[in-house]
């Protein structure tokens, strides 16, 4: 009882230093654990696992009249079955690390405690090593009471996508990926799933610790009085809980904010990967809105796959400048990998779209070329008038070096998805499909060579325009011509 009281008193002193002032409830105790191989004249008397830390109680017996011991800063615990899972020492009782201590006369016992980060749940066999000049004290194969009681779900990436595709989702649900990878910030891929009054953040991939399994709970989110700002119980890499965090959401992104000033990375930015609605629709089961444009005069229209994916009804609005009249359309062919779809108007009142004024240019545009975008972004606040933005080709590759896309500086917003990207001659060179929410003026467009590949797969090959009337026109003139061939695509 006296030894237990000493441990508790010791932990009370160190919690503010080592455990970031959070709850540090005792989770498990292993008294005199079995050790496969160990250093003579020593004994591990107990191992205590708390929410934030692991405490190893050691007993040294002095084997000479001048036995000296140093607990070095290189002291660590390792997962016996995965040596990459390393837990470095944090504290050595109230004494200094890397200092030489005299244990006293031969046969004298000396008890002390080593403090490490919490060992992840499920690791039940460890190795303890205390290096010193010329060697190490090593205890291998220490069996500890540390069952995997971490909260978990049965969700996988595929089952979550199927659930959302079948039953819909709210605007912030989806799959997110950390945009930066470092030792302190793994490239986690996480799924946010509504659960009761709050949300579960579910681990999918990316952890440095092998104890993380798909479906494990990474965090619990609780709503606050501020919209889209959540209080968080976040499980760290070693599955120790951390409640000094908040999470905020913006269109297509999630930001994890630490309130602890000792954190070297106070903010982490996660990009939403799924549902793929970076600049298009955000809710299956509700009304979606994006942009499309004419491919042929007989009613073939191009848009993004994510604009119409999962909807039951597709209508086209804005043909010949009439936004009150809608035309029914169906999907002819889809390229999900490149986020492209070819629609065909099938409506008894439809006649034709008129002669297409632009051509499809499939050669790769150069960095620095002037470009412009046409589309119908944010219609709820911006209205149904077509919007123009312009910029340059910033890169011949898209997000994370994607060779199928351009990066452009022309700003785009939700609703621009599926809209055309033209060069200075008015030639079609891309189809808008995404924006980078973590950067200013970074948007993406699928290259037209991939559109041409999709057209080539149609059973009935359409006759594409081979002569442009846009060449030599001013931007104002080009916009006036092309706006009659850019439409609102609605899904329901």
Render pLDDT for 66-105 as a digit per residue (tens, 0 to 9).
777 788 899 999 999 888 888 999 888 767 888 887 777 8
Output phi, psi for 13, to 5 deg: -70, -40
- Is residue 237 within 8 Å of 211, Cβ to Cβ? no
Output phi, psi for 10, to 5 deg: -60, -45
Question: What is the rounded distance in angstroms from the CA atom of residue 402 to the CA atom of residue 434?
Answer: 12
Domain with CATH 2.40.128.520 in the chain: 157-274
Question: What is the rounded distance in angstroms from the CA atom of residue 469 to the CA atom of residue 423?
Answer: 14
Question: What is the rounded distance in angstroms from the CA atom of residue 70 to the CA atom of residue 73?
Answer: 9
**pLDDT band for position 175 (50/70/90)?**
very high
CATH number of 288-345: 2.40.10.10
- Is residue 280 within 8 Å of 491, Cβ to Cβ? no
Domain with CATH 2.60.40 in the chain: 2-143
Dihedral angle at the C-alpha atoms of 169, 194, 205, 210, nearest 10 degrees?
Answer: -160
How confident is the model at residue 264, as a pLDDT? 58
Q: For the domain made up of 2-143, give the CATH fold.
A: Immunoglobulin-like (2.60.40)
Domain with CATH 2.40.10.10 in the chain: 288-345, 370-487
β-bridge partners, 100: 70
Question: What is the rounded distance in angstroms from the CA atom of residue 169 to the CA atom of residue 288?
Answer: 13
Q: Options 2.40.128.20, 2.30.110.10, 2.40.220.10, 2.40.10.10; which CATH number does 370-487 get? A: 2.40.10.10
- Residue in this structure with the two tokens 């606050």, named with its chain if needed: 224
Question: What is the rounded distance in angstroms from the CA atom of residue 42 to the CA atom of residue 48?
Answer: 18
CA distance to 124, 173, 195, 345, per residue, from 228 (Å): 39, 12, 16, 39
- Is residue 199 within 8 Å of 230, Cβ to Cβ? yes
How confident is the model at residue 251, as a pLDDT? 64
Structure-block tokens of residue 213: 């399994």
Give the E-state strand segments of 264-325 in sequence order: 267-274, 288-294, 300-303, 314-317
Structure-block tokens of residue 291: 């942009």
CATH number of 157-274: 2.40.128.520
How confident is the model at residue 340, as a pLDDT? 95
**Percent of the chain residues topping a pLDDT of 90:** 53
Mean pLDDT (whole number) for 222-240: 88
Q: Look up the pTM and report it.
A: 0.52
The SS3 assignment for 461 reads: coil
């Amino acid at each position: 009882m006296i030894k237990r009281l000493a441990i508790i008193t010791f932990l009370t002193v160190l919690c503010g230093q080592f455990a970031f002032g959070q709850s540090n409830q005792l989770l498990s105790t292993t008294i005199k654990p079995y050790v496969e191989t160990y250093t003579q004249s020593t004994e591990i008397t107990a191992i205590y696992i708390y929410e934030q830390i692991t405490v190893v109680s050691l007993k040294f017996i002095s084997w000479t009249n001048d036995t000296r011991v140093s607990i070095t800063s290189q002291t660590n615990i390792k997962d016996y079955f995965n040596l990459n899972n390393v837990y470095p020492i944090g504290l050595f009782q109230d004494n200094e690390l890397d200092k030489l201590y005299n244990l006293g006369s031969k046969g004298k016992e000396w008890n002390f405690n080593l403090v490490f980060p919490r060992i992840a749940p499920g690791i039940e066999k460890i190795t303890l090593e205390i290096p010193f000049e010329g060697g190490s004290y090593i205890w291998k194969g220490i069996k500890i009471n540390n069952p995997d009681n971490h909260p978990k779900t049965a969700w996988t990436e595929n089952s979550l996508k199927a659930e959302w595709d079948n039953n819909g989702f709210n605007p912030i649900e989806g799959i997110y990926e950390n945009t930066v990878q470092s030792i302190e910030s793994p490239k986690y891929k996480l799924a946010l799933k509504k659960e009761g009054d709050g949300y579960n953040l579910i681990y999918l991939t990316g952890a440095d610790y092998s104890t993380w399994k798909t479906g494990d709970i990474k965090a619990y989110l609780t709503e606050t009085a501020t919209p889209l700002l959540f209080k968080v119980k976040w499980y760290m890499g070693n599955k120790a809980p951390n409640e000094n965090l908040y999470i905020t959401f913006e269109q297509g992104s999630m930001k994890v904010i630490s309130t602890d000033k000792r954190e070297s990375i106070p903010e982490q930015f996660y990009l939403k990967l799924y549902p793929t609605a970076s600049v298009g629709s955000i809710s299956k089961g509700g009304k979606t809105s994006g942009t499309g444009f004419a491919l042929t005069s007989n009613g073939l229209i191009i848009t993004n796959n994510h604009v119409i994916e999962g909807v039951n009804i597709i209508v086209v609005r804005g043909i010949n400048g009439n936004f009150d009249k809608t035309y029914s359309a169906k999907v002819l062919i889809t390229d999900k990998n490149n986020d492209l779809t070819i629609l065909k108007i099938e409506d008894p009142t439809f006649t034709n779209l008129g002669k297409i004024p632009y051509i499809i240019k499939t050669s790769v545009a150069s960095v620095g070329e002037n470009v412009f975008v046409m589309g119908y972004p944010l219609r709820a606040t911006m209205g149904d008038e077509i919007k123009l933005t312009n910029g340059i080709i910033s890169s011949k590759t898209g997000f994370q070096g994607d060779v199928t896309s351009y990066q452009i500086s022309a700003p785009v917003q939700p609703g621009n998805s599926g809209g055309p990207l033209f060069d200075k001659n008015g030639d079609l060179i891309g189809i808008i499909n995404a924006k980078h929410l973590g950067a200013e003026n970074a948007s993406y467009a699928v290259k037209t060579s991939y559109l041409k590949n999709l057209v080539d797969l149609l059973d009935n090959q359409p006759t594409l325009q081979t002569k442009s009337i846009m060449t030599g026109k001013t931007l104002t003139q080009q916009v006036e011509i092309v706006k009659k061939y850019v439409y609102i695509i609605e899904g329901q």
